[in-house]
C-alpha cells in the first residue's frame, strides 16, 4: 500500500515593485504555482523592510529601480537579519545582475517574468538558508540608510540624519537626528564607504562633514569641534587635525 509524502509548507512571498501592474502580474503567476503564498506587497525597499518585520517572509520578489530605497540597498539590509529571506530580483534590465548578486540576491529574473523561470527561482528559494545569506553578503556600493539591529529586527536610519559615529568596544554608536543606535559597521568600513561625507576627527570618532559648525583650540593647543546639531565639544586628535582642516576648506 503506497503512502503519499507530506507536502512542504508553502513559501511565504513578499512582492516588492513600485508599479501596481507589475505586482499584479507576479501575484497572478504565483497563484498558478503550487507551494507559494503571497503574504504582502510593498512599493519600495524601505516599505519592504517594514513589511518584512510585520510578516513572516521566506522569499522576496523585488524590483531594483524604485523610489525611496532601491532593491539593491534593500537586499543589503535584508541579509543582515537573523533569518534573512531569499531575495529574487525581478527587473527589466540585465545591467544590474552583478550588483544584484553582490547585494545578496539568490536569483535574477528579467521581465516579462515567465512562469517556468519563476517556478525554478522558488525551488531554489526553498533550499535557501541563513548560512547561504552569509556567503552572499558584501558589496561596495554606498547606502542611503544605515541599519541598526534590534533583536531580530532592523531599524533603518537615513544617512542624511546622521551626525557622528563613535566606536565603543566591538560596536559603533551612530548619533543622529532622532537619538542614537548601535550599528555593526566599523569606523574603517564607514570611512571607506562614505569618503566624501565623513571625516575622521579621532581614532574612535567619525563626523559628518556638513555637520561641523566650529573648530576650537584651547590655550594648551587641544582642538575640538562643535556640530550644527548642538553636539560637542568632540575631541580632535593632533593626527587628525590637518586632514580635518583641509576638508573644512572645501565645505
List the beta bridge partners of residue 60: 14, 87
C-alpha cell at 126: 526553498
**Cβ-based neighbour number of residue 99 at 10 Å:** 17
pTM across the whole model: 0.71
Fold of 157-249: OB fold (Dihydrolipoamide Acetyltransferase, E2P) (2.40.50)
Q: What is the pLDDT of residue 137?
A: 52
C-alpha cell at 83: 533569518
Q: What is the pLDDT of residue 251?
A: 65
- CA 202 from centre of chain: 26
Q: What is the pLDDT of residue 140?
A: 46
DSSP 121: H
| Residue pointed to by grid coordinates 571607506 | 192
Q: How many residues does the chain have?
A: 251
pLDDT tens digits for the chain (251 residues)?
445 546 678 899 999 999 999 999 999 999 999 999 999 999 999 999 999 988 999 999 999 999 999 999 999 888 888 788 999 999 988 777 777 777 778 889 999 999 999 999 999 898 875 555 555 555 445 688 898 877 767 788 988 899 999 998 888 999 999 999 999 889 999 999 899 899 999 999 999 999 999 999 887 878 999 999 998 899 999 999 999 998 888 76
Where does 11-136 sit in CATH, by number? 3.40.50.2300
Q: What is the domain partition of the chain in residue ranges? A: 11-136, 157-249
Give the separation between CA 151 and CA 246, rounded to whole angstroms: 40
Angle among Cα 211, 216, 221 to the nearest 5 degrees reads 140
Give the separation between CA 190 and CA 197, rounded to whole angstroms: 10
Q: What is the pLDDT of residue 188?
A: 94
Alpha-helical regions (H) of 32-82? 45-52, 71-78
C-alpha cell at 56: 513572516
DSSP 230: S
Q: Which of these, 171, 165, 172, lies nearest to 202 by C-alpha position?
A: 165
Q: Which of these, 27, 75, 35, lies nearest to 52 by C-alpha position?
A: 75
List the beta bridge partners of residue 109: 90
Amino acid at each position: 500500500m503506497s503512502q503519499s509524502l507530506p507536502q512542504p509548507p508553502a513559501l511565504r512571498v513578499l512582492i516588492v515593485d513600485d508599479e501596481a501592474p507589475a505586482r499584479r502580474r507576479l501575484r497572478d503567476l504565483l497563484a498558478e504555482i503550487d507551494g507559494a503564498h503571497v503574504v504582502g506587497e510593498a512599493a519600495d525597499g524601505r516599505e519592504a523592510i517594514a513589511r518584512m518585520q510585520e510578516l513572516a517572509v521566506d522569499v522576496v520578489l523585488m524590483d531594483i529601480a524604485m523610489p525611496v530605497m532601491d532593491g539593491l540597498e534593500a537586499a543589503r539590509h535584508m541579509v543582515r537579519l537573523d533569518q534573512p529571506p531569499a531575495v529574487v530580483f525581478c527587473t527589466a534590465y540585465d545591467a544590474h545582475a552583478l550588483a544584484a548578486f553582490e547585494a545578496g540576491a539568490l536569483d535574477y529574473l528579467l521581465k516579462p517574468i515567465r512562469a517556468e523561470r519563476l517556478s525554478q527561482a522558488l525551488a531554489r528559494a526553498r533550499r535557501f538558508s541563513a548560512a547561504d545569506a552569509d556567503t552572499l553578503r558584501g558589496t561596495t556600493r554606498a547606502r542611503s540608510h544605515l541599519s541598526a539591529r534590534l533583536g531580530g529586527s532592523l531599524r533603518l536610519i537615513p544617512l542624511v540624519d546622521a551626525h557622528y559615529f563613535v566606536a565603543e568596544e566591538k560596536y559603533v554608536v551612530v548619533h543622529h537626528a532622532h537619538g542614537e543606535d548601535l550599528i555593526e559597521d566599523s569606523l574603517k568600513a564607514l570611512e571607506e564607504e562614505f569618503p566624501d561625507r565623513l571625516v575622521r576627527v579621532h581614532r574612535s570618532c567619525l563626523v559628518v562633514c556638513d555637520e561641523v559648525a566650529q573648530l576650537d583650540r584651547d590655550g594648551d593647543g587641544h582642538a575640538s569641534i562643535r556640530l550644527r546639531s548642538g553636539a560637542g565639544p568632540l575631541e580632535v586628535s593632533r593626527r587628525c587635525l590637518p586632514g580635518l582642516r583641509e576638508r573644512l576648506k572645501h565645505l
